[in-house]
Structure 1
Amino acid sequence: MGEALGLLDAAGSLLCLSGVMLISKPTFVMSLVGVEAAPLPFYGTLGAIFAAFSATGTYVLLRYARHLDPIVSTNYFAMVGIALSPLFGWAFGEAWHLPLGYDWVKLFLLAVLSVAGQAFMNLGLALQTAAKATAMNYIQVVFAFAFQVTLLHEGSDALSVAGAVMIASWGGVALAKEALASRRAKAVRPEATASKV
């Protein structure tokens, strides 16, 4: 794609990936440092790896199609989901059931937040380089971790907290870097105008 990846961006991506490792605790990595972790289910791990490659391919395609309105590609995702969800549900033996009462509210919120999140992700990919936009996408791991602890009341440990801090700190560094670059660009513009006069 011809987009440069600076040293700070590469370091930030590595920091975020390390943070994700500390939160998810894959057995093959944790055993190297002497931390006991419950083994991950094989098919779940395989599915997650496939999802990561699929998401990466999607982000690259969205970056190439940055001229599209973010809602257009979001609607295509929804249409494909409507077509494939029943097929995959049937293939994996899921039973059909009609939601009742409060479940409709949860489904509505799930749909609205999913569409909004995807639209903003598409907008981010249109405005930033693919590396920066997807590295900032790691922040969803921090939110998922925070919601796991606060809303679902599931326990946590020091490694998970450290991983969340690592990911969030890169988000802060990236925002500070962008603000500094913006200030430098504004400072250079008046000097260039003055030199022409």
Structure 2
Amino acid sequence: MLSNVLAALLAAAVLTGAAQASECPGAATADDGFVLERPGIRSVYKNSDDDMVMQVSNSFDSGPPQTQFFLGGLIELFRTSKTGQFAILPYSDMRGIFPLKAGAQRKLDFVELLPGEETAEPVVLELKVTGKEKFSLGRCSYDVLAVKLVKKKSDGEELDAWTALYAPDLQAVLAKRYDEGTAQETTVGYAAIKPLSE
């Protein structure tokens, strides 16, 4: 009798684990697409045929929808919506950036192309993988790389800085950390993930 009860409990645990695994997109299923959500935004991720460019379709509770394209799911290449467009023209060879590894450092030179702007000023993006962390989205947990990104003008003036918590298995940034190491440090990230098929 006891053995039957234990067998039933073990079977239930195995089925629960399998169900949770199927609910959590990973390296094996990311190409099928997945959805990241947080209050106010729903983002649908789809990989391109070349496996390097990720298309993200954002829906907002307030505001028009937006489409973005990211190299490796990390570096924004193009953005478009009813409110405007944005693109970058790289001067650097970007093919060797991925896969990212701990300690990796890169410096990328490009110009930002904005409709209506008379000139496109050169910009430098400094990228450094500073560590590894775990990041949870509901019942799903992911290994992420902490990637420090600093955007500067060509003369060295800093324009922006943040740390991306990047999941290589998904090719997606799950959260961004601002003012890292200060009293104002904040992390803005997604709260849930599910397969696109759901």
Length-normalised TM-score, structure 2: 0.28
**Higher share in helix:** 1
Length-normalised TM-score, structure 1: 0.28
**Higher share in strand:** 2
Query: Bigger relative contact order, structure 1 or 2, given CA contacts below 8 A and separation 6+?
Result: 1
